[in-house]
């Protein structure tokens, strides 16, 4: 039987086709720290992930979740709770800063007048959840159902010097609301801070959360093809062994002895050499004078990073990237 052609829907097609800017995150944020895999946070901070090709509907689901946040704040203030979203001293939205400028995140607000403890300032954390996640939070509590959200709350309280948070979430489907107060846990917060400091400084990728590529944490990871596969990361200053993060959120290049703007970092330069940890091969030599690093690829060939600097663009790896080493 001949199949009917799919119905045309120009409006939906147009929405699907809208391009989203693919900005690299300059700093770590609360969105990162709940991830259970330290290695994936490191890949993100080091701009080692390929540009994201997320399904457009994921972005729209994120938009919906963000759009509901002000509503949750309104529902809270409708009860007489006061929620401050702007820091009156600076005129800026409340945010948290850490890691000497390498961590920044806006927060939802700071509340006073919370029914259970009206005089205590509370960090406000809102979330619009799908029905399954919402029901689980209600049933087993935030710590068990959404440990990543608890982690964000603990670290934000730590940075703001607050001792309580109020987590307000809703079911996006039917508008049910749940609230849960969280007590600051210094040990938890300090462990998060130590973890982020480690990620900021290390030149080597932290251990994988799982060695199996089909592990549930890995399946949708933006670094999957680099972490478990043989893909090379993009060339930029953050994947270069000459770079390092310094004070005030800055990055520095020891090769050129200069600070790097975000634009510099995105552009990289012909002297780029991969952090060896990011090359899916075994390092076998390095020549400081020639500024090259030699690797043995999984198929036995040798590849010299920097070897074709004189003759080609700083993206010499297309042929190697397409090689299939999975059988080796
Ligand atoms: S693919 Fe898995 S192990 Fe690798 S960074 Fe992502 S989550 Fe971690
Ligand atoms: S050598 Fe080039 S790519 Fe590497 S950190 Fe310096 S400017 Fe960036």
pLDDT, tens digit (0-9, with 9 covering 90-100), for 56-84: 777 788 888 889 999 999 999 999 999 99
Mean pLDDT, rounded, for 232-242: 96
At 8, the pLDDT band (50, 70, 90 cuts) reads confident
Q: Which ligand does the CA of 207 lie closest to?
A: 1
Class of domain 54-201: alpha beta
Measured by CA distance, the residue closest to atom 8 of ligand 2 is 237
Ligand 2 contacts CB of residue 243 (under 6 A): yes
162-200 residue pLDDT tens: 999 999 999 999 999 999 999 999 999 999 999 999 999
Q: What is the pLDDT of residue 55?
A: 64
> Burial of 183 by CB count in 10 Å (0-12 exposed, 13-18 middle, 19+ buried)?
exposed
List the domain boundaries for the chain. 54-201, 233-321
Ligand 1 centroid vs 121 CA: distance in angstroms?
37
- In the reported structure, the alpha carbon of residue 260 is separated from the centroid of ligand 2 by a whole-number distance in angstroms of 9
Q: Which residue has a Cα nearest atom 5 of ligand 1?
A: 40
Asked if residue 316 has pLDDT above 50, the reply is no
Residues with Cβ within 6 A of ligand 1? 37, 39-40, 43, 208-210, 217-218, 221, 223-224, 227-228
Rounded to whole angstroms, the Cα distance separating 230 from 325 reads 7
Range list of β-strands (E), the chain: 82-84, 95-98, 103-106, 109-112, 122-129, 164-171, 177-183, 243-245, 251-253, 258-260, 282-287, 292-296, 302-305
Computed on alpha carbons and rounded to an integer, the radius of gyration of the chain in Å comes to: 23
Cβ of 109 less than 6 Å from ligand 2 = no
Quote the ligand 2 centre to 139 CA distance (angstroms): 51
Measured at the CA of 144, the angle between CA 139 and CA 147, to 5 degrees, comes to 130
pLDDT tens for 123-176 read 999 999 999 999 999 999 999 999 999 999 999 999 999 999 999 999 999 999
């Amino acid at each position: 039987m001949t199949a009917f052609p799919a119905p045309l829907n120009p409006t939906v097609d147009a929405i699907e086709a809208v391009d989203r800017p693919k900005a690299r995150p300059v700093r770590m944020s609360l969105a990162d720290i709940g991830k259970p895999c330290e290695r994936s946070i490191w890949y993100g901070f080091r701009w080692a992930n390929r540009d994201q090709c997320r399904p457009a509907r994921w972005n729209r689901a994120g938009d919906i979740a963000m759009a509901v946040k002000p509503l949750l704040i309104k529902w809270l203030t409708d009860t007489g709770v006061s929620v401050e979203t702007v820091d009156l001293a600076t005129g800026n939205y409340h945010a948290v800063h850490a890691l000497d400028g390498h961590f920044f995140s806006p927060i939802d607000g700071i509340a006073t007048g919370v029914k259970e403890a009206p005089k205590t300032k509370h960090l406000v954390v809102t979330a619009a959840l799908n029905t399954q996640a919402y029901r689980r939070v209600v049933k087993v509590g935030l710590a068990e159902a959404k440990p990543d959200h608890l982690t964000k709350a603990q670290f934000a309280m730590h940075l703001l010097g607050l001792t309580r948070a109020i987590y307000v979430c809703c079911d996006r489907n039917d508008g049910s609301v749940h609230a849960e107060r969280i007590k600051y846990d210094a040990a938890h917060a300090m462990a998060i801070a130590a973890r982020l400091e480690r990620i900021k400084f290390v030149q080597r990728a932290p251990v994988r959360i799982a060695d199996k590529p089909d592990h549930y944490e890995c399946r949708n990871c933006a670094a999957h093809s680099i972490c478990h596969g043989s893909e090379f990361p993009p060339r930029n200053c953050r994947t270069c062994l000459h770079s390092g993060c310094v004070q005030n959120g800055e990055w520095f290049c020891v090769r050129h002895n200069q600070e790097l703007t975000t634009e510099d970092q995105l552009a990289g330069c012909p002297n780029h050499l991969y952090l060896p940890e990011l090359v899916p091969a075994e390092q076998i030599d390095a020549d400081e004078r020639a500024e090259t690093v030699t690797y043995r690829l999984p198929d036995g060939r040798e590849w010299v990073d920097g070897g074709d600097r004189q003759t080609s663009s700083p993206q010499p790896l297309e042929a190697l990237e397409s090689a299939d080493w999975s059988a080796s």
